[in-house]
Amino acid sequence: MVEMCLSASAAEASVRPRLCTAQLSCVQQVLVRRACNPKGICSSGLIYCRDSDESSSPHQTTTISQGTATLHGLFIKTDAADSIPAVLAYQSRQPPPSGDRRRKERRDPGASARARTPRCCGIEVETQTSNTSIKQVSTTEVQIGPMRLMQDPIQVLLIFAKEDNQSDGFWWACDRAGYRCNIARTPESALECFLDKHQEIIVIDHRNSRYFDAEDICRSIRATKPSEHAVILAVVPCTSADQEQTSILPLLNAGFNRQFMENSSITACYNELVQIEHGEVRSQFKLRACNAVFTALDHCQEAIEITNEDHVIQYVNPAFEQMMGYHKGELIGRELTELPKSDKNCADLLDTINTFIKKGKEWQGVYYTRRKSGDSIQQHVKITPVIGQGGKIRHFVSLKRLHCANENNNQLYKSHHDEKYTGDNSQSESHSCRCKNRRKDSIDIKLITSQSSDAASLQTRRYSSMARIHSMTIEAPITKVINIINAAQENSPITVAEALDRVLEILRTTELYSPQLGTKDEDPHTSDLVGGLMTDGLRRLSGNEYVFSKNVNLSHSLLSVPNTINDVPPCVVQLLDNEESWDFNIFELEAVTSKRPLVYLGLKVFARFGVSEFLNCAEATLRAWLQVIEANYHSSNSYHNSTHAADVLHATAFFLRKERVKGSLDHLDEVAALIAATIHDVDHPGRTNSFLCNAGSELAVLYNDTAVLESHHTALAFQLTTKDRKCNIFKNIDRNHYRTLRQAIIDMVLATEMTKHFEHVNRFVNSINKPMASEETSSHNDSSDCERTANIKNSADNQTLIKRMMIKCADVANPCRPLELCIEWAGRISEEYFEQTEEEKRKGLPVVMPVFDRNTCSIPKSQISFIDYFITDMFDAWDAFAHLPVLMQHLANNYKYWKTLDELKCRSLRLPSENNY
């Protein structure tokens, strides 16, 4: 079949002895199709072509492996080649069509014997520098820093749908430059050829979109990983003198690096390719070599940190991450000034380091730094300035390793302070010797501060940026989060980047933990609860001079209280027998104690937890203290009275008996929690913080409209306690214990302020619930609860979160009480809000919670909103830690009760027909 085709071609040649280039190409395609189809290879007749390793021809080479024909350069060889070579030989012997296309005849007798199996990926032809043509050395030596690289001959891919003067110009330019060249005719073959050979230069015909879309081809190549090191050139048509030249931006956006105005001159094409080689290709070749450098750095055992001249971290290796406890994503892009510093370094050392590196000198020495966990570690540090463009310092490279003699750290630090790094090298040399024993490859660490003649001026020199690196405040966690997201955006798809932009908008707000309510069809009950409980209510009226004040009773009221706990009336004793049960009825205790249940319950609970023993105070002192605290609760308040305080105390004591809570807190924490519960609402006026701020009350002015009531409760409680030794329960404890206890009490009471409700809940979930859940999963139930909470107990921060969560849940536990108690508390808080609304209207103040109008309010709706918005998530989190199935069952039952009333359009506490209640 091939012979017939070749004979036909010869016959045609007798009529037209000279074939144009396009016709010759067509003949090649026909031959290829007919030779490949019997084997089922590429029905389109497009094959992948490679030159012979031994070929001396600078021309294009096509090889067919069926043993029937070999098209070599511009010559066709077959087993019966004698019948047809004259045609193509004649073509090859003709002068070049133009002066720029000087094709040379090169015969290779052994070409057919070296025929290879074709690969179907499109028409491609390849040229390689001949032994006789002008050529470069096979490899080029390239220097990058101390590295000596050997660059193989450049490979070029020409993508031209049709052969013409321009494609020939680049072809022969590659031959002159000694480049290896491939030609692709279709987008598919171009992509496959590039993925196979990874050419450094790609030339795409962008003159005519009739055959293919050059920009689409460019984008498809750019979508591959190897293309990041390729230079893509667009051949564009020439513009006339009166025609305005088009912008190159569309080409750049498509992925092209350069454009080439149509010019078929071999010299012009040669100059363009050589410029690209010595410019972009050489730069990309050096960049590829950097991968080896970074691989070495990543496997280096020394901790390495690279910053720019402004001390912004640009690289850290895994050894650095392991030593410092950070992930590289937390460090790269941040300034060193943002990282926590160790306070063990003297100021002179920082000044010395800065003096040396700013002068371009290398500094070596011993330095203290702080890990992410907060631990200070001692390191041998070597900081090397790297000089860059313009002779300026462009980077700092820090090599760090742990000090090998940690047992001598204290002595070393002392000697550093004594000597103040004035140049005593003997000490550092001894350090180096000890390090050599451990690691023979380690570099000797010597302090070289004495080498500078400027040492005398260090005391008066101002600290510059490096000196301030370890004196800045620790970065806020929210800033860390924002920085991580910003870094993630750089390499994210556009949809992900846009979503992260929205995340950043939310994170930059101040109300991070408060759910956002919709502006349409929102539940007015929820909206008013949020407005009343979670804002400062500063919606003042002009000229409002209303001031809320009351006379604080600092004296001891004459209450009928027992002399000792054994003198408690029998009826009270009987009620208190059930005090440890969650279903304990506080209202019955309120009734039998004439609205003074706090003293009686307090004596019982405090005795059970050994509060007097811990405080080293007499029972009489504790009794007097409970009496004066209860006297300053307002019995006239419907809700915020001493019964509520006793209820919170009861809930706190109940929580303290739960295993996980008990295993996580110390005795001091227990005492602090019980005292905080007792005093948490003392002298509450029965009005919200918003009311007091709007009214311009004395308390709001005193506490700057911030946590007004909570600040007042704690301040007054300590004032009442310390005013009289008879009731001063703290008078006999150690001062340090008192400070710790006082701080814990204040922190817990302030946690009951609702503006930070969601912050406290979210921190508890993220710091307690999630880590414990992960630990339980990994332990496969092999360890006990006590073992699993060991880490929590050892963390002061986590203990604080537990105490805050405990008192918050105790403060608003009403929806988790038995139904009858829940209904009673709901009625009391509603009554208090009704009274506030009425007073706001009467005094002309802004109405904080308009929904709590006595005539229109739906109590079931308000309870549903309160449970949905504040209670459910918080108690889910607390239950996950403390295990409170009884409470969660009550919560579900009560929520169902309120839902039923609401569905029946009932706005009161009970259905009208419920006479049995």
Number of domains in the chain: 3
User: What pLDDT score does 229 carry?
Assistant: 85
* pLDDT over 80 (residue 738): yes
Q: Exposure pattern of 722-749 as b/e (b: 16+ CB <10 Å)? A: eeeeebbbbeebeeeeeeebbebbbbbb
CA distance 570 to 21: 119
* pLDDT over 50 (residue 473): no
Single out the residue in 402, 437, 470 at which a domain terminates. 402
**523 vs 363, which has greater pLDDT?**
363
Instruction: Show binding-site residues for Zn(2+).
Output: 644, 680-681, 811
Beta-carbon neighbour count of residue 434 at 10 Å? 12
Classify residue 345 by burial, with Cβ atoms within 10 Å: 0-12, 13-18, 19+.
buried
CATH code of the domain containing 274:
3.40.50.2300
**Can you name the residues that pair with 141 across neighbouring β-strands?**
150
Is the domain of 281 the same as that of 398? no
CA nearest to 254, candidates 213, 202, 206, 218: 218
* pLDDT over 60 (residue 896): yes
* pLDDT over 80 (residue 629): yes
CA nearest to 76, candidates 95, 62, 59: 62
CA distance 422 to 456: 10
User: Using one digit for the tens of pLDDT, what is the confidence trace for 529-576?
Assistant: 665 665 554 443 433 333 333 333 433 343 355 556 567 788 898 889
Is the domain of 282 the same as that of 328? no
Strand 363-370 with 147-151, pairing: unpaired
Beta-carbon neighbour count of residue 249 at 10 Å? 8
Is the domain of 770 the same as that of 714? yes
**760 vs 388, which has greater pLDDT?**
760
Q: Strand, coil or helix: what is 470?
A: helix
The model's confidence at residue 345, banded by pLDDT at 50, 70 and 90, is confident
User: What pLDDT score does 377 carry?
Assistant: 86
**Mean pLDDT of the region 604-613:** 95
The model's confidence at residue 263, banded by pLDDT at 50, 70 and 90, is very high
Is the domain of 252 the same as that of 385? no
Q: Strand, coil or helix: what is 515?
A: coil
* pLDDT over 50 (residue 448): no
User: What pLDDT score does 819 carry?
Assistant: 96
Is the domain of 146 the same as that of 257? yes
825 located within any domain: yes
User: Using one digit for the tens of pLDDT, what is the confidence trace for 401-428?
Assistant: 886 544 344 443 333 444 333 344 444 4
Single out the residue in 402, 436, 461 at which a domain terminates. 402
392 located within any domain: yes
**Mean pLDDT of the region 83-94:** 33
The model's confidence at residue 801, banded by pLDDT at 50, 70 and 90, is very high
622: Cβ contacts below 8 Å, ≥ 6 apart? 602, 603, 606, 611, 612, 615, 729
User: What pLDDT score does 182 carry?
Assistant: 93
Q: Strand, coil or helix: what is 51?
A: coil
CA-CA distances (angstroms) from residue 255 to 7, 217, 220, 273, 826? 46, 10, 9, 18, 68
Both structure tokens of 290: 């950097």
User: Using one digit for the tens of pLDDT, what is the confidence trace for 285-314?
Assistant: 777 777 788 888 888 888 999 998 888 999
The model's confidence at residue 160, banded by pLDDT at 50, 70 and 90, is very high
Q: Give DSSP secondary structure letters for 618-677.
A: -HHHHHHHHHHHHHTS-TTSSSSSHHHHHHHHHHHHHHHTSHHHHHH--HHHHHHHHHHH
User: What pLDDT score does 142 carry?
Assistant: 75
Instruction: Show binding-site residues for AMP.
Output: 640-644, 681, 811, 863
Is the domain of 315 the same as that of 262? no
Widest distance between CA atoms in the chain? 135
Is the domain of 284 the same as that of 305? no
User: What pLDDT score does 185 carry?
Assistant: 92
Is the domain of 346 the same as that of 320? yes
Is the domain of 309 the same as that of 174? no
* pLDDT over 80 (residue 691): yes
Both structure tokens of 535: 């804002």
The model's confidence at residue 29, banded by pLDDT at 50, 70 and 90, is very low
**Can you name the residues that pair with 399 across neighbouring β-strands?**
304, 382
105 located within any domain: no
Return the percentage of the chain with pLDDT > 70, whole number. 68
385 located within any domain: yes
**Mean pLDDT of the region 672-699:** 96
85: Cβ contacts below 8 Å, ≥ 6 apart? 75, 76, 77
The model's confidence at residue 655, banded by pLDDT at 50, 70 and 90, is very high
User: Using one digit for the tens of pLDDT, what is the confidence trace for 377-397?
Assistant: 888 888 999 887 777 888 899
User: Using one digit for the tens of pLDDT, what is the confidence trace for 32-54?
Assistant: 443 444 433 333 333 334 343 33
- The least confident of 122-131, 201-210, 216-225, 615-624 is 122-131
The model's confidence at residue 359, banded by pLDDT at 50, 70 and 90, is confident
What's the whole-model pTM score?
0.48
User: Using one digit for the tens of pLDDT, what is the confidence trace for 855-881?
Assistant: 999 999 999 999 999 999 999 999 999
Instruction: Show binding-site residues.
Output: 640-644, 680-681, 811, 863
Both structure tokens of 612: 């007097």
Is the domain of 232 the same as that of 363? no
Q: Exposure pattern of 26-54 as b/e (b: 16+ CB <10 Å)? A: ebbbebbbbbbeeeebbebbbbbbbbbee
Both structure tokens of 450: 């004495």
Is the domain of 262 the same as that of 326? no
490 located within any domain: no
Q: Rg of the Cα trace of the chain? A: 43
User: What pLDDT score does 667 carry?
Assistant: 95
Listed in sequence order, the DSSP H helices in 812-854 are 819-843
Active-site hit among 72, 640, 712, 760: 640
CATH code of the domain containing 675:
1.10.1300.10
The model's confidence at residue 636, banded by pLDDT at 50, 70 and 90, is very high
Return the percentage of the chain with pLDDT > 90, whole number. 44
Which residue is associated with the tokens 């700092």? 396
User: What pLDDT score does 284 carry?
Assistant: 79
Which residue is associated with the tokens 């070999």? 70
**791 vs 499, which has greater pLDDT?**
499
59 located within any domain: no
* pLDDT over 70 (residue 780): no
User: What pLDDT score does 708 carry?
Assistant: 96
CATH code of the domain containing 393:
3.30.450.20
Single out the residue in 364, 381, 402 at which a domain terminates. 402
Is the domain of 588 the same as that of 639? yes
User: What pLDDT score does 371 carry?
Assistant: 86
Q: Is 640 a catalytic residue?
A: yes
* pLDDT over 50 (residue 581): yes
878 located within any domain: yes
CA distance 4 to 134: 39
- The least confident of 96-100, 213-217, 627-631, 898-902 is 96-100
**Mean pLDDT of the region 223-230:** 88
Domain that holds residue 186: 140-238+248-295
- The least confident of 200-204, 533-537, 683-687 is 533-537
CA distance 770 to 598: 37
Both structure tokens of 766: 């993220």
| Mean pLDDT rounded to a whole number for the chain | 75
N-term to C-term CA, the chain: 106
Strand 75-78 with 147-151, pairing: unpaired
206 located within any domain: yes
Q: What are phi and psi of 762, to 5 degrees?
A: -65, -40
* Helix or strand run (H / E) with residue 694: helix 689-695
* pLDDT over 70 (residue 250): yes
